[in-house]
Amino acid sequence: MKLRLILFALSLLTFLSTWIGGYLYYTSLTSSAVIEAERQAVTRVEIIQKNLSAFLSENIRPVRTLAGMDKLRAALTRPTDETLAGANAILDHFNASLDVDVCYLIDRSGNTIASSNREAPDSFVGKNFGFRPYFKASIQNQPYNYLALGTASGVRGAYYSHPIYGEAPDNPVGIVVIKAAIDQIEKQLDLTDDEIVLVTDPQGVIFISNRRDWLYHLLWELPPAQIADIRTSQQFGDGPWLWTGLTVKGSRYMKNRQGEEYLVHQRDIRNFPGWSVLHLRSAKAISAKVFAPLIRITGPIVLTLCILIGLTVFFLYRKASQEISQRRVAEEALRTSEERYRSLYHNTPAMLHSIDTEGRILSVSDYWVEALGYDRAEVIGRKLTDFYTAESRRHAETVVFPDFFKAGFCKDIPYQFVKKNGEIIDVLLSAISDRDEQGRTIRSLAVSVDVTDRKRAEKALKHAQKKLQQHSRNLERLVKKRTGEITSILKYTPDVVYIKDKTGRYRLINARYEELLGKTDSEVVGRTDYDILPRGVADEFRKSDRRVLETGSPCQVAEQIPHQDGMHTYLSVKFPIFDERGTISGICGISTDITELKKAQDQLRRLSAGIMASQEKERSAIARELHDELGQVLTALRMEAVWMLDRLKNKDPKAALRALTMCELIDKNIEDIRGMAIRLRPGVLDDLGLVDALEWFTGDFEKRTGITCVFEHGPVPEISNTVATAAYRITQEALTNVTRHADATRVTVNLELTDGELELTAEDNGRGFAPETLDDAEGLGLAGMRERASLVGGRLTVTSRPSGGTRVHFTVPIRNTVNGGA
């Protein structure tokens, strides 16, 4: 009877096992198929993404190389037939070498001036692509990659653009573009019938796909406003952009209008922000892979189950002997387990112990006795609290032990053990109780963790925190002190001080500015210059503010601020304020009233102008006297000497020779007097103008000194006498310095008109000097030149370095005034 029951139970168990096993097998097979399909899909989409990224990025470096070609730069800066032919040759070479669709060159206005398809019916030459995003980005110094449908060719392409720079490294003169066709990508996808690959832009427009009927369709529905934006961009033609009907189902699937589901994986395309590649695989194809193996394997499984049932019945008769063998094996395993437990208990690097309900030690681990320095015989049978400090003993006996034997566990109880050598260590003790069949606690199993080092570290940390708090308080006091000092400076300084944010709104003004405006700080903060100052003054303030924000550097400007007694001139120093990330967050300005100083400077300038004008008049008067008076006297003497020569040459040869010598001496004096008169005030300057005067002076300078002097000039209009005189005297002083100090062999003087300013440059190849080493006496010549430049509203700069020559540069704005002063 017992054997029949066992056989029935075994048969029933076999049936249930077979059914459950089949179900689990089918579930496992389905799950494995889905996991394998996902793994394959992930691999496929990563391979496709890498191939697409590589294909779409292969022309980034070539377009950068193409942008550095001098012939393309020349075609943009000097568009002649010759330079355009050179640019076309370069574009043809790159087009053939890269095997791309077309290479073309666009100027700053967006017009195509050269292209490798210039002979084709759909030539780009003459077409304007200024509306394209790649042109707008590159002309603003940003290389750009762009996928779009060609507006001229109607062919899909990948566009790669790069700025081309002229003389200024941050000011593009045009861009160069490489366009590669997209058709080859779809041919190389090599996909199965149940796979779909889509490449979409950030708005979901399908641009590349092995489903040709989905090209230029939308991955999801878009509102009319977004579709209007797509049409405006002309990136994908004229539309329409229909919806594919795909909807999202869960986190990994999409469903079409017919209800067919697809497993979806998506990856971003490198170098094309917002563009993605999607891999879709039919869920039906994945499920089909589950049923085929199931049918193929079902037959062998049924046969195997039958064999197993027969074998099971046979083994039932051997059950008794097997039970005995199993019991022996279990007893042996128990002994092995106990030995393993003892080995772990004694050899683990932790303080383990066990006590009874009276607190006496039943066992300790080897690490326990080693850590405390005792022998095992010295501790077994003794109370655990005998090894505690007095305070830990009292806490254990009154609090911990009663709670432990009641609850059956404790965790992280802080104790202090006393080692055999008297040293005290800190531990955290955790324990559980071992109970008998009636649930009564018979002993504990506890582990103690030595935390002495951690206690010391915590103590050191607390000490460090205390010092840090003290340091923070000291720092706060110092900050408060410095804040008070700065507040006092802002309050009592006679200068105007203010702080603005990047938009020009005031964040702080000092007491002087409040007094000047007649407003308090609270009334000004948050407002702009246009809210509190006249518009003209506010325009000047904002102009200098923008210069500081754009350059990131301090600047010094003269500004006009209205007072009750009229406009005052302020010398303002403005500088940027940076935040903790190094970004400009605002502007600080400090303005000093220089109205009286400005008046004094103007008076001094007028005085200097009067002195120089008097000098020029005196020079002219002396020159006239030398030429008219002394020149005429010398001419009369020469005529008398010639008369004497004619009378004496036949009568008294010696006297005739003396007369001839007198003639030569008089001629030399006449020439010297003429030169002195011209150098004092050359008539050519008054009669013919500055260009002729400088041409005569540089020629005379070369003849007198033997130093090669080259005078170059461009077209110069008629200018005022004052400016002409200043330019002439500056040149005269510069060349005089070359003669005295430069030890030069060549001087170049250049005069030209540039952007409404007259520019005069005198440059030598002499030994140069360090301007800061000149004393007052040596620098008088430079000071005089600067004074003359300042009096006519110009600027004079002198640059020099030892053994590097000297360059004197004078610039002055030219007004349409002549012969009447500047």
Mean pLDDT across 334-363: 78
Distance CA 288, CA 692 (A): 100
Q: How confident is residue 161, by pLDDT bands cut at 50, 70 and 90?
A: very high
- SS3 for 271? coil
3-state SS, 169-213, equals CCCEEEEEEEEEECHHHHHCCCCCCCEEEEEECCCCEEEEECCHH
Distance CA 758, CA 752 (A): 6
- Is 687 or 103 the better-scoring residue by pLDDT? 103
136 has pLDDT over 80: yes
pLDDT tens digits for 457-468?
888 888 888 888
Mean pLDDT across 194-214: 81
* Domain spanning 348-450: CATH superfamily: PAS domain (3.30.450.20)
663: which residues sit within 8 A by CB, 6+ positions away?
A: 638, 641, 642, 645
Predicted local distance difference test score (pLDDT) of residue 769: 84
Q: Which CATH class is domain 688-822?
A: alpha beta
524: which residues sit within 8 A by CB, 6+ positions away?
A: 506, 509, 513, 514, 517, 532
Q: How confident is residue 52, by pLDDT bands cut at 50, 70 and 90?
A: confident
Distance CA 1, CA 171 (A): 103
CB 705 within 8 A of CB 747: no
Strands 746-754, 708-713: pairing is: parallel
508: which residues sit within 8 A by CB, 6+ positions away?
A: 498, 499, 521, 525
Mean pLDDT across 212-233: 81
Predicted local distance difference test score (pLDDT) of residue 341: 66
Task: Report the 10 Å Cβ neighbour count for 201.
Answer: 19
133: which residues sit within 8 A by CB, 6+ positions away?
A: 144, 146, 233, 235
Distances in Å between the alpha carbon of 514 and those of 363, 542, 568?
85, 19, 16
Look at the block and give the residue holding tokens 């193996």: 293
Strands of 156-165's sheet in order across = 112-115, 102-107, 172-181, 156-165, 144-149
Q: For 99-182, where are the alpha helices, taking DSSP H only?
A: 133-138
Give the closest residue to 749 by CA, choosing from 760, 736, 741: 760
- Is 41 or 798 the better-scoring residue by pLDDT? 798
CB 807 within 8 A of CB 798: yes
**Structure tokens, 14:** 């076999």
If residue 499 lies in a helix (H) or strand (E), which one and from where to where?
Answer: strand 496-501
CB 209 within 8 A of CB 186: yes
Task: Report the 10 Å Cβ neighbour count for 86.
Answer: 18
Q: b vs e for 616-644, b when ≥16 Cβ sit within 10 Å of the residue's Cβ? A: beebeeebeebbeeebeebeebbeebeeb
Choice among 215-229, 411-425, 533-547 with the minimum mean pLDDT: 215-229
Predicted local distance difference test score (pLDDT) of residue 480: 80
- SS3 for 69? coil
Cβ-in-10-Å burial (0-12, 13-18, 19+) of 711 comes to buried
Predicted local distance difference test score (pLDDT) of residue 785: 84
Distance CA 641, CA 664 (A): 10
Q: How confident is residue 818, by pLDDT bands cut at 50, 70 and 90?
A: very low
CB 163 within 8 A of CB 138: yes
Predicted local distance difference test score (pLDDT) of residue 775: 53
CB 142 within 8 A of CB 149: no
Predicted local distance difference test score (pLDDT) of residue 708: 93
CB 97 within 8 A of CB 110: no
**Structure tokens, 467:** 């010092």
Predicted local distance difference test score (pLDDT) of residue 91: 92
576 has pLDDT over 90: yes
**C-alpha 699 chain-centroid distance:** 55
Predicted local distance difference test score (pLDDT) of residue 677: 58
3-state SS, 232-252, equals HHCCCCCCCCCECCCEEECCC
Choice among 58-72, 135-149, 313-327, 401-415 with the minimum mean pLDDT: 313-327
Mean pLDDT across 338-363: 79
Q: b vs e for 133-165, b when ≥16 Cβ sit within 10 Å of the residue's Cβ? A: ebbbbbbeeebbbbbbbbebbeebbbbbbbbbb
Q: How confident is residue 85, by pLDDT bands cut at 50, 70 and 90?
A: very high
pLDDT tens digits for 307-334?
776 676 566 556 655 665 676 776 777 6
- Is 6 or 39 the better-scoring residue by pLDDT? 39
Predicted local distance difference test score (pLDDT) of residue 586: 92
- SS3 for 433? strand
Classify the phi-psi angles of 806: left when phi > 0, otherwise alpha if psi is within -120 to 50, otherwise beta.
Answer: beta
Predicted local distance difference test score (pLDDT) of residue 488: 75
Average pLDDT of the chain, as a whole number = 80
Q: How confident is residue 14, by pLDDT bands cut at 50, 70 and 90?
A: low
Please report, as a single letter, which amino acid is at residue 818. V
Distance CA 208, CA 277 (A): 9
Q: How confident is residue 178, by pLDDT bands cut at 50, 70 and 90?
A: very high
Give the CATH architecture of domain 186-282.
2-Layer Sandwich (3.30)
Percent of the chain with pLDDT over 70: 80
Choice among 30-34, 276-280, 468-472 with the minimum mean pLDDT: 30-34
Q: How confident is residue 279, by pLDDT bands cut at 50, 70 and 90?
A: confident
284 has pLDDT over 90: no
Choice among 135-149, 537-551, 783-797 with the minimum mean pLDDT: 783-797
Distance CA 59, CA 56 (A): 7
Q: What are φ and ψ of residue 93, in 5° steps? A: -65, -45
Distance CA 138, CA 363 (A): 81
DSSP 8-state symbol, 814: P
Q: How confident is residue 649, by pLDDT bands cut at 50, 70 and 90?
A: confident
Predicted local distance difference test score (pLDDT) of residue 112: 94
Choice among 11-15, 278-282, 360-364, 731-735 with the minimum mean pLDDT: 11-15
Domain 493-593 falls in which CATH fold? Answer: Beta-Lactamase (3.30.450)
Please report, as a single letter, which amino acid is at residue 134. Y
Domain 58-181 falls in which CATH fold? Answer: Beta-Lactamase (3.30.450)
Strands 795-800, 806-813: pairing is: antiparallel
Classify the phi-psi angles of 402: left when phi > 0, otherwise alpha if psi is within -120 to 50, otherwise beta.
Answer: alpha
Predicted local distance difference test score (pLDDT) of residue 105: 93
Distance CA 510, CA 522 (A): 11
Percent of the chain with pLDDT over 90: 12
Mean pLDDT across 369-397: 88
pLDDT tens digits for 475-527?
888 878 777 777 777 777 888 898 999 899 998 888 888 888 788 888 888 99
Strands 566-578, 555-563: pairing is: antiparallel
Predicted local distance difference test score (pLDDT) of residue 819: 39
**Structure tokens, 567:** 């406009």
Q: How confident is residue 820, by pLDDT bands cut at 50, 70 and 90?
A: very low
Distance CA 627, CA 675 (A): 10
Distances in Å between the alpha carbon of 503 and those of 498, 500, 527, 534, 552?
14, 8, 10, 18, 15
Please report, as a single letter, which amino acid is at residue 427. V
**Structure tokens, 556:** 């010094």
183 has pLDDT over 60: yes
pLDDT tens digits for 592-638?
887 776 666 566 556 555 555 666 566 665 656 655 566 666 777 77
Predicted local distance difference test score (pLDDT) of residue 696: 84
- Is 289 or 248 the better-scoring residue by pLDDT? 248
Distance CA 253, CA 219 (A): 14
428: which residues sit within 8 A by CB, 6+ positions away?
A: 412, 413, 414, 415, 448, 449, 451
**Structure tokens, 602:** 């103007």
Mean pLDDT across 571-586: 89
CB 265 within 8 A of CB 279: yes
Predicted local distance difference test score (pLDDT) of residue 653: 81
pLDDT tens digits for 702-761?
988 899 999 999 888 888 878 888 888 889 889 988 988 888 999 999 999 988 899 999
Predicted local distance difference test score (pLDDT) of residue 758: 92
**Structure tokens, 151:** 């507006």
Distance CA 644, CA 462 (A): 119
CB 772 within 8 A of CB 782: no
Mean pLDDT across 759-786: 75
Predicted local distance difference test score (pLDDT) of residue 777: 40
Predicted local distance difference test score (pLDDT) of residue 267: 83
190 has pLDDT over 70: no
Mean pLDDT across 95-106: 90
CB 502 within 8 A of CB 524: no
**Structure tokens, 732:** 């005269």
